[in-house]
Structure formats: structure tokens, C-alpha cells
Amino acid sequence: MVTIHWHIGKKFIISPYNMKKTVLIIFLGTLLACQGQEHKKDHDPGTANEYMHQSSVEDLAKRFESPERDAYQKPEKVLAFFGDISGKKIMDIGAGSGYFSVKLAKKGAHVIAADVNDEFQVIIKERIDTEKLENLTTRKIPYDSPGLEDKEVDMVLMVNTYHHIENRPDYFAKVKNGLKNKGELVIIDFYDADIPVGPRHHKIPIDTVISELKKAGYTHFEVEVNLLPYQYIIRCKLD
């Protein structure tokens, strides 16, 4: 049995989820997913990683740390959503320039800023030195693994990165092994819709994410669709 928690306004709705009755979880994902899949196939720009790295790391870092991102990402709201993270060990996968890694560290978490890109890791190390963040470290990880030890962290955060992962059920099974008892995986990514931010061709619907995470062994999901204007939050808590 999988439990889906939907936040709608101030109401909190709990519904059972199983593969034979998918209406509740599909309704939003289907609504947002109907954006012309054939059109996407006809204009395939390659993988999400190839598409992103059409820009230089320097340009990407400026975009990631821009006021325009602050406006839609609403980091303070996201951090408030996490609750008290002081003392928790968190891996930020796809940390990029450290947008969330630095903010999490400043809230008292012990943060591992993980990324596949050496240049982003250099940027974060410079920020660690400049801002004297002793509770923030970097970790170079491969494309096919989170690079976690068993039960190493309390939380794994992945922001705007889920669509970059290939063979996701296998990848997130490894993430699950790296979470402590009662740990959690939090995914923030863009709605599969015509919105002014995010990748044009690689957005993934909510129901697809949940289906893939279910295959990876996750059973409890909290889905937040009201906090951010262009992104959903999926929070998977372990027993």
C-alpha cells in the first residue's frame, strides 16, 4: 500500500494508491502532461544533460543564482517546508553552483553538495571558503549513482535535476539505501506544462515520478502543488 498526501489549500487529503486505481494521482499529471509529445519527438534536442550543457558552466551558475530564479524558486518557503533541519545530514544531488546547499548549511544542516561536474564543485568550494561554511562539503558523483554509503544521510534533496537522471528506478533504489531510518527523499522539479522556466523538452509529470519511485521501493509520498508557481514537490518518507 502506498499513501499519497495531497496539499490543497489548507486542506490535507489522504488517499490510498494502488496500480488498479490511479485516478487521483494521475489527474494533475495528465492535465499537465498533454503538451504534444509528438511535437517533442520531432524536435528532440538530445538528453537533458546535453541540452543543459549547451551553455557554459559560468552562464549556468549566473542563471542558477539569479534574482529571477529567486522569484520562482522561493527558497525561504522551501526551507520552511522542510521544517527544522539543524543537525541533519543532507545530500543535495545536482547541487550545481550550490544554490540550495549553501542555504541548507546556513540553516544548520551538515550538507554534502553532490554533482557530476568538476567546475560546479570548484564554484562550491570557493563559496565554502568565502562564506566559511564548515558544515558544507562537496562530493563528485557519477551519472549513474548518488555515491552514498548505506544509511549515510537523513535527507536527499534533488532540485530541478530529476529529469537529468537515467535509469531512475535503479538510481533511486541506491538513494533509498543511503537514507537513514525515517529518512526522506525530496524532489522539486518543473511541471510538464508550457511554463516560462525549466527545460522545454525534458519535464516529467508527477505521476511518472511517483510510478518510477514506487519501482525503486518508496511507499509513502507527500505531494505539494501549491507552494511554488512552476514546480511540484514530492516528499518520500521512509518508515
> What domains are defined for the chain?
2-237 (3.40.50.150)
Q: What is the pLDDT of residue 143?
A: 95
Strand order of the β-sheet with 11-17 is 11-17, 2-8, 220-224, 231-237, 179-190, 153-159, 89-93, 110-115, 136-140
Q: What is the pLDDT of residue 129?
A: 97
The b-or-e profile of 86-107 (16+ CB within 10 A means b, else e) is eebbbbbbbbbbbbbbbbbbeb
* Cell triple for 64: 542558477
Q: What is the pLDDT of residue 56?
A: 86
Spatial neighbors of 65 by CB under 8 A, at least 6 apart, are 97, 99
pLDDT in tens, 33-82: 444 333 333 444 444 444 454 568 999 999 999 999 999 999 999 999 99
Strands 136-140 and 89-93: unpaired
Distance (Å) of CA 99 to CA 28, 69, 120, 154, 206:
28, 10, 11, 19, 23
Spatial neighbors of 11 by CB under 8 A, at least 6 apart, are none
pLDDT in tens, 80-101: 999 999 999 999 999 999 999 9
Q: What is the pLDDT of residue 200?
A: 80
pLDDT mean by block of 10 residues, the chain; 239 residues: 45 38 39 39 44 72 95 98 98 98 98 97 97 98 97 98 95 98 97 92 94 98 98 96
Q: What is the pLDDT of residue 37?
A: 39
* Cell triple for 183: 529518512
Torsion of CA 50, 55, 59, 62, to 10 degrees: -40
